[in-house]
Amino acid sequence: MNLHGGGAGVISSALGGHLPGAQLSPDAAAIAAEGSFYTPIAGSREKGFSARPVLYGMKLAGVLAGGRMRPALFDQPR
């Protein structure tokens, strides 16, 4: 599992004081307090940890890994 990233402060510093996603969410401050926007698992020892949407995307990628593509034909009626 990919657990790299760090807290919002670390990522913001690495990006010149900019935290991607901060302008997109009205809950940005609360989200950033628990970790970055793109971490799969976020939280704290005091409040507990929870899965973020990125984790579920990673799980889906793991399920699809090694799969084979199948051809599909699509003929749209006119």
Burial of 43 (0-12, 13-18, 19+ CB in 10 A): middle
Q: Rounded distance, CA 36 to CA 22, Å? A: 10
What integer pLDDT is reported at residue 54 of this predicted model? 84
- The model's pLDDT over 17-65, given as tens digits with 9 standing for 90+, comes to 777 777 777 777 777 667 666 778 888 788 888 888 888 988 998 898 8
Tell whether pTM > 0.75. Answer: no
